[in-house]
């Protein structure tokens, strides 16, 4: 193996490790919030307008389903610009609150949209090929994270806090 090939191999491994480290917090947030936030968004289907909107989403053709994901991005763009404006004016706490709320709302809407259009998306060949691979990779990464000592310590601490809080409320 040539020197250049070894350097490229090391660089690729380094980029993979850095990329994984950067994406793990996002994966953890999505994993934590995806189902509960989608369920919360699903409750909106009790409203006639929202139920009609969901029905239209279910009937989208495959590429329409892909385009449906751009709607939350476009709707949240002005909110994110507002957060940046707030940061620039020295309102860091308010800006951060706006960003967190935008992330929560965006995740709820995107998760619900995905639940509604997964079928049409799976009719797109490249999506049907890559989504299971992405999901398997994500599951492997999350399994490694969940087996790590810091994760187990934080989970144990959370359980202890939850038990203490329940005892406090009951007693």
Give 3-42 pLDDT, tens digit per residue.
888 888 888 888 887 777 777 777 777 777 778 888 888 8
Q: At what angle do helices 92-121 and 3-43 cross, to 10 degrees?
A: 90
- Does the pLDDT at position 96 exceed 90? yes
How many other CB atoms are there within 10 angstroms of residue 76's CB atom? 19
- pLDDT per residue as tens digits for the range 66-77: 999 888 888 889
Q: What residue has token string 């480290």?
A: 21
| Continuous segment of H or E residues that includes residue 38 | helix 3-43
Residue entry with tokens 């999350």: 142
Query: Residue 125: pLDDT above 90?
Result: yes
Report how far apart the first and last C-alpha atoms of the chain are (Å, whole number): 69
* pLDDT for the residue numbered 141: 84
Q: What pLDDT is recorded for position 60?
A: 93
Neighbours of 140 (CB within 10 A): 10
- What's the Rg (C-alpha) of the chain? 21
Q: How confident is the model at residue 155 (pLDDT cuts 50, 70, 90)?
A: confident
- How far is Cα 103 from Cα 83, in angstroms, rounded to an integer? 12
Would the pLDDT of 106 be above 90?
no
Average pLDDT over residues 106-119: 90
Collect all residues with Cβ–Cβ distance below 8 Å to 103 and sequence separation of at least 6. Answer: 29
The token pair that represents 98 in the structure block: 């706006």
Positive or negative: CA dihedral 117, 123, 125, 130: positive
pTM for this predicted structure = 0.70
């Amino acid at each position: 193996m040539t020197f250049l090939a070894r350097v490229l191999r090391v660089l690729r491994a380094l980029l993979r490790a850095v990329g994984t480290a950067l994406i793990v917090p996002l994966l953890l947030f999505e994993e934590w919030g995806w189902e509960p936030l989608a369920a919360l968004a699903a409750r909106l289907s009790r409203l006639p307008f929202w139920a009609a909107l969901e029905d239209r989403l279910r009937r989208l053709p495959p590429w329409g389903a892909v385009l449906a994901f751009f709607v939350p991005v476009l709707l949240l763009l002005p909110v994110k610009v507002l957060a940046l404006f707030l940061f620039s004016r020295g309102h860091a706490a308010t800006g951060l609150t706006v960003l967190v709320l935008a992330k929560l709302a965006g995740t709820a809407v995107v998760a619900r949209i995905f639940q509604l259009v997964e079928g049409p998306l799976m009719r797109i060949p490249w999506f049907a090929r890559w989504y299971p691979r992405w999901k398997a990779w994500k599951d492997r990464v999350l399994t490694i994270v969940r087996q790590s000592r810091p994760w187990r310590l934080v989970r144990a601490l959370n359980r202890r806090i939850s038990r203490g809080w329940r005892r406090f409320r009951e007693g």
